[in-house]
Amino acid sequence: MPDTNSIYDCVIIGGGPAGLTCAIFLGRYRLRVLLCDNGKPRNYASRAIHGFIGQHNIPPAELRRRGREEAEAAGVEICDCTVERIERSGDQFCLTTTSGSLRARRVVLAYGVRDLVPGVPNITDFYPGSVYHCPDCDGYEVTGLRVGVIGHATRAAGMALKLLQWTNELTIFVHGEERHFTKEETSKLLAEGIAVKDEKIIALTGEGDRVKHAVLETGERVPVDALFFSIGTVRSCTLAEELGCRVLDPQPCIEVDQYKETSVEGVYAIGDLAPGSQLAVTSAADGAIAAIAINKSLLPPSRRV
C-alpha cells in the first residue's frame, strides 16, 4: 500500500520498460519513488521482445519481473493499482488511486497506448504465434514467409512496403473498408507486386497459434503464414488530457521536450506516449532520460551548476 501521509519525490504510472527503467534510475538517486502498475501491458500477447541488447527473445513478463526486482532492490515502492485522477496542488500533485490517495513532487506518465484490433473473426486465436503489429519488432521473424497486412489506409501501405525488407510475398487485406491509399501509395504497391484484397475476411484457419489461410467472403482462401495489422492506437487512459498536457492528436502521443517533460511543469511522459519509435529498448531509454532530468530538477539550487 502507498504511504498516504508523506510526499513521494516521484510517482510513475505504468510498469513497462519505460516506467521500470525510470524507477530504477530514480531509486539509485536515492529518491523516494512509487511505481503504480495495473498489470495491463500493451505487449501482453507478445511471445518475446526483440532488439533489446542482451535480452533477445526474453518474454515480456520475464523482463517485467526482473525489472520490478531491480527497482525494489534500489528502494522503489511498487503498488499494483490504477491511478484514477491527478490534480496539481501548488508545487505538488495529488493522486487518487484504487489503493488510496497520495502526493508527489513529480509525476511520470508511462501508461502507454492500446492497439486497435481489427474486427476479423478469431484473430486473437493466433496471438502471439503469427499475428503482429510492429514490423520493427517482429519483421525479422517472418523472413521469407507469406504475410498479410490488415488495414485500409496509409499506415497499412507503409507497413506492407516496410515488410519488403523481409519477404516479397505480401497481401493487404482491406477487410471490406474503402481504400484510402493515395495515388503515389497505390503506384508503389503495384510496382512492388503487393496484392490488395477488398473483400472482408470471414475466417482465419490454422493450427494452434499459427495461421494458414485468410478466408474471404467470396470463398477465396488466401495462404498466409503471418498477419500484421495497422488500424491505429489510442492512449490507455485520459490522465494526460485531464492534467492539461498538450497532446499530438491524431497521434496517440503527448508533446514532450528533449528531457521528456510535458507542457505541464513537473509532469513527464515516456515510452509509447512520447513521439518516436515504439520499441522496448527506446522506451527504456526514455525512462533513463526522464529520470536524469527529474533528479536534476529536484536538486536544491545550491547543488546545481
Please give the tally of structural domains in the chain. Answer: 2
Query: Is residue 242 included in any domain, yes or no?
Result: yes
69: three-class secondary structure by DSSP: helix
Listed residues 229, 251, 282: the one ending a domain? 229
Asked whether residue 248 falls in the same domain as residue 208, the answer is no
Q: Which residues pair with 265 in a beta bridge?
A: none
Per-position DSSP letters for 22-43, written without gaps between them? HHHHHHHTT--EEEE--S--TT
- Number of residues in the chain: 305
In a domain, 2, yes or no: no
Of the candidates 56, 62, 71, 69, the one whose C-alpha atom is nearest the C-alpha of residue 43 is 62
pLDDT of residue 50: 83
Residue 45: predicted pLDDT: 59
**CA atoms of 36 and 77, how far apart (whole Å):** 9
Of 212, 229, 246, the last residue of a domain is 229
Domain around 242: 7-114+233-303
Mean pLDDT in order along the chain per 10 residues (305 residues): 82 97 98 94 72 87 95 97 95 95 97 90 89 91 97 95 97 96 97 97 95 97 95 90 93 96 98 92 97 97 87
Question: Is the entire prediction scored with pTM above 0.75?
Answer: yes
Tell me if 250 is assigned to some domain.
yes
Measure the CA–CA gap between 104 and 236, rounded to whole angstroms.
Answer: 22
Q: What's the confidence (pLDDT) of residue 182?
A: 96
Q: For residue 74, which of 12, 139, 165, 120 has the smallest C-alpha distance?
A: 12
What was the pLDDT predicted at 40? 80
Which of 107, 95, 93 shows the shortest CA–CA distance to 262? 107
Distance CA 112, CA 114 (A): 7
Phi first, then psi: what are they for 222, rounded to 5°?
A: -90, 120
The CATH number linked to 221 is 3.50.50.60
The predicted pLDDT at position 52 comes to 87
For residues 130 and 227, the answer to whether their CB atoms sit within 8 Å is: yes
Enumerate helices (H) and strands (E) in the chain, giving the number of each.
7, 17
225 and 237 share one domain: no
CA distance 157 to 155: 6
CA distance 305 to 297: 12
Distance of CA 296 to the CA centre of its chain: 27
Distances (CA, A) of 130 to 58, 145, 262: 17, 11, 37
Q: In this structure, are 22 and 100 located in the same domain?
A: yes
Q: What is the pLDDT of residue 277?
A: 86
* C-alpha–C-alpha distance, residues 77 and 60, integer Å: 21
Handedness of CA 183, 189, 191, 197 (dihedral sign): negative
Environment class of residue 256 by beta-carbon count within 10 Å: exposed (0-12), middle (13-18) or buried (19+)?
Answer: buried
Shared-domain flag, residues 244 and 99: yes
